[in-house]
A and B are shown apart, each in its own frame.
Chain A
């Protein structure tokens, strides 16, 4: 049996859905984007052009839900299937778009440069339980205007895994899409075999900004999956009640979903989010709090109720160093998201309010992800009778360590983490230098960087995408370590 967890009663789920539709019908939502306004007008909706407000009839919402697919398959750069975002499947990717990194040598937070992201990508590429990459780090050593595309450029070069990304400027989509097409071969192949997901945030409350609206429209045209990342902030730009935030999340997400389905019925979308319990003492967006976890799991249930692939920003921490807080926040969020069956769980490596990535932490988080996969497999009956015959063995033997049964099953039954997790005796731990988990992770990082097999992207394709991303005559190839 797969372990599961239930957050909302069925009646409440229906209530949330109905109230979200009522909100869209009575209050409507704000659309900043001109193309979206035209799309909504063409669909026969009465748009208040001056105030850019649109009200959506429930029938249209329901129709859009019917055309949105309930499953999205992601493929790697080589066209191999990686995961199906559907049902209670789970997949992990690192937290995206960090402005800073936690330097593994100094343990200080500093601005990130190209080398940080290249190293990070190389390490994630080899992590067993993190099946997708994300454009996780913003490199401060290239012009800010190319910041979003540059991350994708590097990720495509150094990694085969599917990539979660997103735009920071409207113009970037064109370049990013062209790079994806160049890698995939052609537009149709990219549509058939999605290689990247684009995150797009509605702006709470009930608003789709010009930039992010363009992203979902453009993605829908090309069949690229959009991941809606609604972020109600409790008590700030959303109700302080957790359920209130879930209703607002649903309304904002449904609004985006309708736009995509009007652009192209069947366009792949993901019911995602990154809500936050606003910290009333510090005025910060607390992304790893127990309340945030509750909202995340709650809206995920709504997404599942509506039969859509789901996503959540969970399994990260708001700590600033790799301390116990970093561990418990990440552990709680990751395991719970796994049990809930959030299809795409973003956040590995991330700290400090989605602003700082840690290469050590992503290695540690890979362990938590592995344990989560193990946990959701639950307990399986292997034998009939279950244990009786084995217990008979004890009449002759004192242990089962060398028994066939043990040898047959121990690898599957017992999860073995890497050396990052300390399972040694105290004596051994002391003799090996009293290392913290951060130290051990850093050693692992160094090993993985050495083991990285090298860039395998076809050199012609590399030239193509270098041409596509060219900015002011600079194609950034000199920044690569190949």
Chain B
């Protein structure tokens, strides 16, 4: 099997050990790291496509994402040393304060990370200030806020208001999501968009960061 085929195989099968071994092999044999990452990325994109087509199930997709992450973790120090930034952008994500619904947020985070974003997942029940502090600390491009309750959804607005107050609104794009979030709410609070599921969240994030 040629190397990129092997990468694809490891990711699509969700074989974490194999993905790790391949990554080590790249480093040990001094192969081209960028080429290898391209190979892995192609595979994870295919996993996403397969999921959208209904060929792949969620556990398979999540496992592919984990295999991808395992390989990337091995490449990370090398990339850092070479001062190469392969990430599509930096994202801070979490479920807002008072709200512990985290499954949807975790799916979105996993897909963003698998797609090649650097994702800082703050978990659930996250205070507004923590979102902002973290975004400043890592110099994020995008803040993603999940809220599943109408009462906590207000936190999405507060976060954006707080960014405005601090004159930071232009520094970060803000995506929001969760069951109660409507197009109208996005407009009302001045967010940059929302998405109904993890796959469209990734597409939107890419579009926003490219623009």
Contact of B198 among A207, A279, A283 (CB under 8 A): A283
CA distance A24 to B154 in the complex (A): 35
Residues B57 and A99 in contact, CB atoms below 8 Å apart: no
Q: Count chain B residues whose beta carbon lies closer than 8 angstroms to a beta carbon of A.
A: 21
Q: Assess whether A168 is in contact with B198, with CB atoms less than 8 Å apart.
A: no
Q: Is B98 an interface residue (CB 8 A)?
A: yes
Known contacts A111-B182, A211-B98, A281 near B57 by CB under 8 Å? yes
User: Does A278 contact B151, Cβ atoms closer than 8 Å?
Assistant: no
* B100 at the A interface (CB under 8 A): yes
A203 to B100, CA, bound (A): 8
Q: What residue of chain A has the Cβ atom nearest to residue B56's Cβ? A: A281
Partner of A280, one of B58, B125, B184: B58
A115 and B82 CA atoms in complex are apart in Å by: 62
Which A residues are in CB contact (< 8 Å) with B54?
281
Question: With an 8 A cutoff between CB atoms, is A49 at the interface?
Answer: no
A33 contacts partner chain B, Cβ-Cβ < 8 Å: no
Known: A99-B179, A99-B180, A355-B179. A280 touches B59 (CB 8 A): yes
Give chain B nearest CB distance to A100 CB in angstroms. Answer: 9
Interface residues on chain A, size class: 20 to 34
User: Is B88 located at the chain interface by the 8 A CB criterion?
Assistant: no
Asked if B122 CB lies within 8 Å of chain A CBs, one says no
B44-88 vs A, CB cutoff 8 Å, 1 = contact: the mask equals: 000000000010011100000000000000000000000000000
Smallest Cβ-Cβ distance to A353: which chain B residue: B179
Is A236's CB under 8 angstroms from B179's CB?
Answer: no
Bits for B131-173, please: 1 = Cβ < 8 Å to A, else 0: 0000000000000000001111110000000000000000000
Q: Which residues of A contact B98 (CB under 8 A)?
A: 169, 211
Shortest Cβ gap from A347 to chain B (Å): 17
Among listed A7-15, A71-79, A140-148, A218-226, interface-contacting one:
A140-148
B109 CB to nearest A CB, Å:
13
Q: Does the CB pair B151–A168 fall under 8 Å? A: yes
List the count of A-B residue pairs having beta carbons below 8 Å apart: 50
* Closest-CB distance, B160 to chain A (whole angstroms): 15
- B1 contacts the other chain (Cβ, under 8 Å)? no
Return chain A residues, CB-CB under 8 Å to B153. Answer: 144
- Which residues does chain A contribute within 8 Å of B42, judged by CB atoms? none
Nearest-CB distance from B126 to chain A (Å)?
Answer: 14
Q: Please, how many angstroms separate the alpha-carbon atoms of A283 and B177 in the complex? A: 15
**Complex partner residue of B103 from A111, A147, A237, A281, CB under 8 angstroms:** A237
Q: CB distance A283 to B151 under 8 Å?
A: no
Task: List chain A residues, Cβ under 8 A from B130.
Answer: none
Which residue of the partner chain, among A111, A144, A210, contacts B151 with CB atoms under 8 Å? Answer: A144
Complex Cα spacing A21 to B97, Å: 32
In contact, B198 and A144 (Cβ under 8 angstroms): no
Are A168 and B58 within 8 A (Cβ)? no
Of B58, B149, B150, the residue contacting A281 (CB under 8 A) is B58
Residue B197 is within 8 A (CB to CB) of chain A in the complex = yes
- Given the complex, which residues of A lie within 8 Å of B208, measured CB to CB? none
A138: which B residues are within 8 A, CB to CB?
A: 150
How distant is A430 from chain B, measured CB to nearest CB, in Å? Answer: 39
Q: How far is the CA of A147 from the CA of B152 in the complex (A)?
A: 11
Type the 1/0 row for A269-307, where 1 means its CB is closer than 8 Å to any CB of B.
000000000111111010000000000000000000000
Interface residues of B in 89-115 (CB under 8 A from A): 98, 100, 103, 107
Asked whether A233 is an interface residue with its Cβ less than 8 Å from the other chain, the reply is yes
Knowing A99-B180, A209-B100, say if A144 contacts B58 (CB, 8 Å). no
CB nearest neighbor in A for B154: A144
In the complex, what residues of B have CB within 8 A of residue A140's CB? 150
- Chain A residue at smallest Cβ distance from B104: A283
CB < 8 Å neighbour of A144 from B125, B150, B184: B150
Cross-chain contact B151 with A147 (CB below 8 angstroms): yes
Residue of B nearest to A110 (CB): B182
Residues of A within 8 A of B154 (CB): 144-145
Complex contacts, B100 vs chain A, CB 8 Å: 203, 207, 209, 211
Give me 21 A-to-B residue pairs in the complex whose CB atoms sit less than 8 angstroms apart, sorted by A's number: A99-B150, A99-B179, A99-B180, A144-B151, A144-B153, A144-B154, A145-B151, A147-B150, A168-B150, A207-B100, A209-B125, A210-B125, A211-B100, A233-B103, A279-B58, A280-B58, A281-B57, A282-B197, A283-B58, A353-B179, A355-B179
Interface residues of A (CB under 8 A from B): 99, 111, 138, 140, 144-145, 147-148, 168-169, 203, 207, 209-211, 233, 235-237, 278-283, 285, 353, 355
B residues within 8 Å of A by Cβ?
54, 57-59, 98, 100, 103, 107, 125, 149-154, 179-180, 182, 184, 197-198
Since A236-B103, A280-B58 are in contact, a sample of 19 more A-B pairs with Cβ atoms closer than 8 Å, ordered by chain A residue number, is A99-B180, A138-B150, A144-B150, A144-B151, A144-B153, A144-B154, A145-B151, A147-B150, A147-B151, A148-B151, A169-B151, A207-B100, A210-B125, A211-B98, A233-B103, A237-B103, A278-B58, A279-B58, A280-B59
